[in-house]
Amino acid sequence: MNPHHLPTSASAAAPESESLARISPAKHTANQANAQLSTGPKTSEGKAKSSLNAVKTGLSGRTVLLHSDDAAVYEQHVRDYEKELRPVGQRECDLAQSIADSAWRLSRIPALEMAIYAQGRAQFASQFEHEDVSTRPALIELHTFLAYEKQLRNLHIQEARLHRRREKDTAEFRQLQSERRNRDTDRLEAASRLYVQAKRANKSFDPAALGFEFSISDIESYKDAGSVLEIGYAAFKRASEARAQMQTAA
């Protein structure tokens, strides 16, 4: 799993390009003229709400990282998930990446919610100067909630969606791992028997020549009650690194 291979926005932009192609030149010119007349929100409250539109982009868009995110922290986040999940094969790697990305987006939600209320406290502080000091904070919080109800509701909707996606991906990932564990157990059992027979006959034993992706150390680890998932992951990483070295050499 390569954390540098992030989804592109090409497919997300395709529908927009197709819709533009269906607009007549006259309509397109009129739209451009109308756009010149629009200067966006003029009030401070309107501008503040407009600045929060990025909330949707950071949670449901195809791009995982925002300009304010630390790429090195994100890459470490992905590596930590890979280390924990031990994915093998393209589908497991895709699911592990998706699970990591969902967790990354979910961790963004509390900060976004706090930012909305922080902005509201600054924006509406002067509106309650004549209220009792003990009730002023609660009134500001309430006014912020009402003013940014749409943005806050959107955060909660996206949070629920991300939780469902992560649960779905995790369930599929665990199912694939269970099936792989069963397959690898059968193959390791077969390789172990042949390895023992070869040792008893004082013959050499090459697992690769017999169609096994496991090394002799993998087989010995299995005989010592090693984890089948750990052994499979080690074999997968070893093969991936070998392919990468061959491609580099070529």
pLDDT in tens, 133-150: 889 889 988 988 899 899
Residue-wise pLDDT tens digits, 229-246: 999 999 999 998 888 888
pTM above 0.75, yes or no: no
Q: Which amino acid is at 184?
A: D
Residue 191 lies in a domain: yes
Residue-wise pLDDT tens digits, 14-47: 333 344 344 454 444 444 444 443 444 555 555 5
Residue 133 lies in a domain: yes
Residue 30 lies in a domain: no
Of 68, 127, 67, 99, nearest in space to 3 by CA? 99
pLDDT average, residue stretch 92-103? 93
Residue 97 lies in a domain: yes
10 Å Cβ neighbour count for 96? 22
Residue 137 lies in a domain: yes
Residue 3 lies in a domain: no
Residue 9 lies in a domain: no
Tell me the residue range of the domain where 79 lies. Answer: 43-249
What was the pLDDT predicted at 167?
97
Q: Structural domain tally of the chain? A: 1
Q: How far is CA 186 from CA 177, 179, 191, in A?
A: 14, 11, 9
Residue 250: pLDDT over 90: no
Q: How far apart are the first and last CA of the chain?
A: 22
Residue 188: pLDDT over 50: yes
Q: How far is CA 97 from CA 19, 58, 78, 94, in A?
A: 32, 17, 7, 5
As a whole number of angstroms, the distance between CA 186 and CA 206 comes to 18
pLDDT average, residue stretch 201-214? 93
Residue 20 lies in a domain: no
